[in-house]
C-alpha cells in the first residue's frame, strides 16, 4: 500500500471507491486537507495522515473506528450531521471545535457529502484545520471589543466621517450630545449637523482635515430637538482600510459660554464704570501740571508724569474692553469711504516710528490699493499690528511693513523678527483674551483683545487676517482686504 492512503485494500468496494474518486492516491496521501471516507455502516474505509493528525490519532486508529465511536464527533454534533447527510444526500458543512486525544483544542472546517458507488453509499469528509484563523478572528473580536469599550466609555463625543462627509461612526457620548440615535447619525452627513448660515460663514474644512491637518474649532451644532448647542470640535484625518477618514471629538461648551457671557458682561459694566473716574484723574493731572509749572518741583513733576502715563494706560485698557463688548454685541459699525490704503499705512507708520527709538519700521509699498472702508478702524488694525510687532520683539530691530495687491485683494504684511508664537497657539491669538505669552517671565503688557478686535474689523470689511510664525524667529501678520 502506498504511504498514508486508504484502508482495507482487499475490500473490493474500497477499490471501486478509489476508482470512483479518480484521485491519485498520492494526492490524497499528501494533501494538507484531511480526507476520510466512511461506509454508510459507519466503518472508516479511507483516511489520510492529515485527517488523522487533525483528529488527534493515527490513520490505523481511524480505520479501526466507526464514525459513531469517535467521542469528540459525538459531542460536537458531527455524528448527527453525518447521519443527516447520509439520509438526505445533501452535502453539508460545519465548523466545529474539538479536543484531540492529546488534549489539543482545534477548530476544524468539515465538509460532508455522499458518494454513491454501485449499491453502496459512502460518506465523504474533508477536514481543514482552521484553528489559526479562528484564533485570529477571536483576537480581532476581543481587540474590537476593547476599542469599542474605550470608544463608548469616552466622555467626549467621538465621530468618524468618510471622504464624502458621510458619518460612519459615532459613540454614545456623541449621540447624547447631539440628541440623536446612532442609526440617525449614521444616515447623516457632517454638514447636516450645522446650521447652513454658520457653514456659509465658516466652511467645514473637511478636505483640509482629510488632507492631514488637525484643526480645533468652535461651532454650533444642531441638536436632535432643534436647539443649537455650542461645541468645541477637534478633528484630524486618518487612514482606514485604504481610505481617508476624518475623526472628530465633540465637547459641549454651553457652560463655558455662559461663564464667558457673565465675564463679558462684568467687564463691559466695569469698563463703563471706570471711564468717568479715569477721565476725572486725567483732567486733574492736567490741572496740576498747569498749576505747578514743570521744573519747579522735581517730585511733583515725576508724580504728574507717572499719573498721566498710568491714567492714559488705564484709559487705553478700558477702551479695549469697550471695543470687545461692542464686537460681542455686534455694535461695531463702519463709517465707510474710499480709502487710499498706501497713504493710510504710511501715516500710521510715521506716527508709530516717532514713538519708538528701538525699532526701525521698514515700509515697502508696491501698490496703491483703493479700499471701501472705515479709515479710523483700518488705522486701528495697522497700528495694533505694528504695536504688537514692537512689543513682541523686545530686542528691537527691523519691522517690515509691506503693502501690495494679490488676486483682487489688497495684501498687507507686518513682519517682525521677535519672539514668534508657539505652534498650536497661532489660530488662537485672534480669540478674545487669549495671550500666547501669558505666564512667561517677561510682561509684554496687553489683555489679549487687540487681535480679536482687528479680526472683527477686517471681517466686517469682508477681508481675512492670519498669521505665520515660528517660535524664536518672528511672526508675519497678513491682512487681505477686497478692493473696491
- Binding residues (CB under 6 A) for ligand ADP: these are 388-389, 392, 416, 418-421, 429, 434-437, 446-452, 475
Q: What's the grid cell of residue 446?
A: 496687553
Query: Do residues 457 and 449 lie in contact, with contact meaning Cβ atoms separated by under 8 Å?
Result: no
Whole-angstrom distance, CA of residue 280 vs CA of residue 276: 6
Helix (H) or strand (E) run with residue 410 in it: strand 409-416
Q: What's the grid cell of residue 301?
A: 513733576
**Cβ closest to ligand ADP, residue 250 vs residue 381:** 381
Beta carbons within 10 angstroms of residue 283's beta carbon? 11
CA 298 to chain centre: 62
**Cβ closest to ligand ADP, residue 369 vs residue 420:** 420
Question: Max Cα separation, the chain?
Answer: 138
**Cβ closest to ligand ADP, residue 110 vs residue 465:** 465
| Shortest reach from residue 383's CB to ligand ADP, in Å | 11
Report the residue number whose CB is nearest to ligand ADP.
Answer: 446
| Pick from 392, 408, 396: nearest CA to 464 | 408
| Shortest reach from residue 344's CB to ligand ADP, in Å | 20
**Cβ closest to ligand ADP, residue 456 vs residue 475:** 475
**Cβ closest to ligand ADP, residue 154 vs residue 274:** 274
**Where are the extended beta strands (E) located within 241-286?**
243-252
| Shortest reach from residue 336's CB to ligand ADP, in Å | 24
| Shortest reach from residue 451's CB to ligand ADP, in Å | 3
Query: Do residues 383 and 348 lie in contact, with contact meaning Cβ atoms separated by under 8 Å?
Result: yes
| Shortest reach from residue 479's CB to ligand ADP, in Å | 13
**Cβ closest to ligand ADP, residue 188 vs residue 317:** 317
Angle (deg, nearest 10), helices 450-460 and 298-328: 50
User: What sections of 154-297 are H helices per DSSP?
Assistant: 172-178, 182-185, 196-201, 206-210, 254-291
**Cβ closest to ligand ADP, residue 235 vs residue 467:** 467
Beta carbons within 10 angstroms of residue 345's beta carbon? 23
| Shortest reach from residue 392's CB to ligand ADP, in Å | 3
Residues with Cβ within 8 Å of residue 402, at least 6 apart in sequence: 363, 364, 365, 366, 411, 412, 413, 415
| Shortest reach from residue 228's CB to ligand ADP, in Å | 27
Amino acid at each position: 500500500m502506498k504511504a498514508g492512503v486508504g484502508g482495507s485494500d482487499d475490500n473490493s468496494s474500497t477499490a471501486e471507491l478509489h476508482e470512483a474518486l479518480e484521485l491519485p492516491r498520492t494526492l490524497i496521501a499528501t494533501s494538507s486537507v484531511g480526507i476520510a471516507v466512511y461506509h454508510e455502516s459507519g466503518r472508516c474505509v479511507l483516511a489520510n495522515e492529515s485527517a488523522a493528525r487533525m483528529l488527534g490519532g493515527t490513520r490505523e486508529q481511524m480505520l479501526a473506528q466507526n464514525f459513531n465511536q469517535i467521542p469528540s464527533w459525538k459531542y460536537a454534533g458531527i455524528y448527527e450531521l453525518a447521519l443527516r447527510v447520509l439520509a438526505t444526500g445533501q452535502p453539508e458543512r460545519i465548523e466545529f471545535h474539538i479536543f484531540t486525544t492529546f488534549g489539543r483544542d482545534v477548530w476544524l472546517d468539515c465538509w460532508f457529502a455522499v458518494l454513491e458507488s454501485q449499491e453502496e453509499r459512502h460518506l465523504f469528509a474533508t477536514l481543514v484545520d482552521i484553528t489559526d484563523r479562528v484564533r485570529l478572528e477571536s483576537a480581532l473580536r476581543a481587540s474590537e471589543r476593547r476599542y469599542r469599550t474605550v470608544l463608548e466609555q469616552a466622555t467626549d463625543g467621538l465621530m468618524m466621517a468618510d471622504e464624502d462627509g458621510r458619518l460612519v461612526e459615532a459613540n454614545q457620548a456623541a449621540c447624547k450630545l447631539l440628541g440623536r440615535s446612532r442609526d440617525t447619525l449614521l444616515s447623516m452627513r457632517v454638514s447636516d449637523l450645522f446650521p447652513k448660515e454658520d457653514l456659509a460663514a465658516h466652511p467645514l474644512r473637511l478636505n483640509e482635515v482629510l488632507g492631514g491637518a488637525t484643526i480645533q474649532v468652535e461651532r454650533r451644532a444642531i441638536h436632535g430637538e432643534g436647539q443649537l448647542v455650542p461645541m468645541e470640535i477637534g478633528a484630524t484625518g486618518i487612514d482606514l482600510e485604504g481610505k481617508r477618514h476624518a475623526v472628530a471629538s465633540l465637547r459641549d461648551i454651553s457652560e463655558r459660554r455662559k461663564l464667558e457671557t457673565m465675564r463679558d458682561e462684568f467687564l463691559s459694566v466695569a469698563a463703563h464704570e471706570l471711564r468717568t473716574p479715569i477721565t476725572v484723574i486725567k483732567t486733574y493731572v492736567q490741572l496740576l501740571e498747569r498749576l505747578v509749572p514743570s521744573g519747579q518741583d522735581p517730585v511733583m513733576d515725576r508724580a504728574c508724569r507717572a499719573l498721566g502715563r498710568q491714567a492714559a494706560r488705564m484709559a487705553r485698557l478700558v477702551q479695549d474692553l469697550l471695543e470687545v463688548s461692542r464686537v460681542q454685541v455686534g455694535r461695531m459699525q463702519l463709517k465707510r469711504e474710499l480709502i487710499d490704503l498706501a497713504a493710510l499705512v504710511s501715516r500710521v507708520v510715521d506716527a508709530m516710528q516717532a514713538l519708538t527709538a528701538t525699532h526701525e519700521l521698514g515700509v515697502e509699498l508696491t501698490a496703491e490699493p483703493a479700499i471701501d472702508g472705515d479709515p479710523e478702524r483700518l488705522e486701528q488694525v495697522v497700528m495694533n499690528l505694528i504695536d504688537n510687532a514692537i512689543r513682541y520683539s523686545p530686542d528691537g530691530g527691523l519691522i517690515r511693513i509691506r503693502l501690495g495687491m494679490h488676486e483682487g485683494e489688497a495684501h498687507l504684511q507686518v513682519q517682525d523678527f521677535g519672539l514668534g508664537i508657539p505652534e498650536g497657539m497661532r489660530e488662537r491669538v485672534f480669540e478674545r483674551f487669549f495671550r500666547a505669552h501669558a505666564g512667561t517671565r517677561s510682561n509684554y503688557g496687553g489683555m489679549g483683545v487687540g487681535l480679536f478686535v482687528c479680526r472683527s474689523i477686517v471681517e466686517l470689511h469682508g477681508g481675512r487676517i492670519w498669521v505665520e510664525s515660528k517660535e524664536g524667529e518672528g511672526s508675519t501678520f497678513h491682512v487681505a482686504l477686497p478692493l473696491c
